[in-house]
A and B are shown apart, each in its own frame.
Chain A
């Protein structure tokens, strides 16, 4: 057999949305936010473990995390959570077969699940944006 040229897209294939639909971008963002939240969560377990050292140690730990760098970092986690949670509700419903229609006889122009789902997709994203704006308002008050 002659030599084949490998053409698997690799990580760029799953991160890059290209000319595909919005769902593809939501998919990549869901993964990235998930990884970010997991990293924060594991850190959070150890940070809250500092409570064992008593109030003094807790105060000194919080003093470290009270800096602007960590405040902005925490705000990013809140934004990631807002997206991951709302998109997650959408995904649970979709993966259990709701909100994407039922199979039927295909006739041109074809209707398909992601197309039928698009209006609801936008509703969910607007909801996520509203949550982000609310938490943004809170963050503004913290900074002030």
Chain B
């Protein structure tokens, strides 16, 4: 056991990290700083940054949290592409130089920390939550909204977004336009527009189909290429355009929002299976009822 542990720690090679440093409080202008880092098996770029902070320069700053590609905090511009630092092993970059810069198209707060406020405010602008006309049903649900498996598959991919902002860093339109809603928020908007449970189309359309909405996308495809979760923003945006085009010429039907499922009647459970957990909606007398 000891033997394999030491083998795992064996240094494979030494790579040169070139990291963009910027300190708003300091006098230095933004510049690249070099660090040499011994690479062990399975070491990610994020591990490399941690090694530098532990051994070489404790002032290095970045943002990270989960270390496993779920939280979307450690988006960085690594060797020419926006990537998650935790998702990419150094050996897989196939280079002895690892150039790490903060995500482009966002203001830099310090070192590798981008200011993602623009991303979040654009995300909010498309109202990324279910909107129902029947507000009382949403507040005090009597049952679940119906949705078939195929209807779920039509949008579930777009719901996997972790808001890491890599797509916005890759997008050529975002590179010049501050107002463009961008791949992240347009995808979030389409995720709800194509959700059969949603009735908020009229509230989102003004953002999605504005002069800074989907029509400023020209399918450069970079967003989908860099997305670490396979969300495919380019696909969502083209679907949104197609939907508007078809409806504009009277081909697409206006979707009717799905209704509340009626409770199953005359049902007796099989004796050999355990009881279902307590219902989360429409269960009179449950703890959630106010």
| CB–CB B81/A20 < 8 A | yes
| Cβ-closest chain A residue relative to B191 | A103
- CB of A36 closer than 8 Å to a CB of B: no
Contact with A along B215-240 (1 / 0, CB 8 A): 00011111011110111101110110
Q: Which residues of B contact A111 (CB under 8 A)?
A: 230
Stretch in A5-13, A65-73, A131-139 with 4+ CB within 8 Å of B: A5-13
A112 at the interface (CB under 8 A from B): yes
* CB neighbours of B157 from chain A (8 A): 103-106
Q: Which of A2, A8, A11, A24 has a CB less than 8 Å from the CB of B221?
A: A24
Inter-subunit contact A94/B219 (CB<8 Å): yes
Q: Tell whether B153 is near chain A: CB-to-CB under 8 Å.
A: yes
How many angstroms between the C-alpha atoms of A7 and B236 in the bound complex? 27
Does residue B114 face the partner (Cβ distance < 8 Å to A)? yes
Which residues 66-110 in A have Cβ within 8 Å of B in the complex? 91, 94-97, 100-101, 103-108, 110
Task: Please tell me if the beta carbons of A7 and B108 are within 8 angstroms of each other in the complex.
Answer: yes
A10 to B158, CA, bound (A): 28
Q: Which residues on B sit within 8 Å (CB–CB) of A35?
A: none
Cβ–Cβ < 8 Å partners of A101 in chain B: 235
Q: Which residues of B contact A2 (CB under 8 A)?
A: 24-25, 109
Which of B47-55, B169-177, B270-278 is the interface stretch?
B169-177
Question: How many residues on chain B are close to A (CB under 8 Å)?
Answer: 52
Q: Which residues of A contact B103 (CB under 8 A)?
A: 7
For the complex, give the distance between the alpha carbons of A27 and B220 in Å: 5
Within 8 A of B (CB), among A1-59: 2-14, 18-21, 23-24, 26-28, 30-31
Q: B242 contacts A4, CB within 8 Å? A: no
Within 143-182 of B, Cβ neighbours of A (below 8 Å) are at 153-158, 160, 170, 172-176, 178
Identify which of A18, A30, A104 contacts B218 (C-beta below 8 A): A30
Task: Offer 5 A-B interface pairs, CB within 8 angstroms, sorted by A.
Answer: A4-B24, A96-B241, A103-B157, A114-B221, A114-B225
A-B CB proximity, top 9 nearest? A13-B175, A110-B230, A97-B242, A114-B221, A106-B230, A23-B221, A4-B107, A14-B172, A27-B220
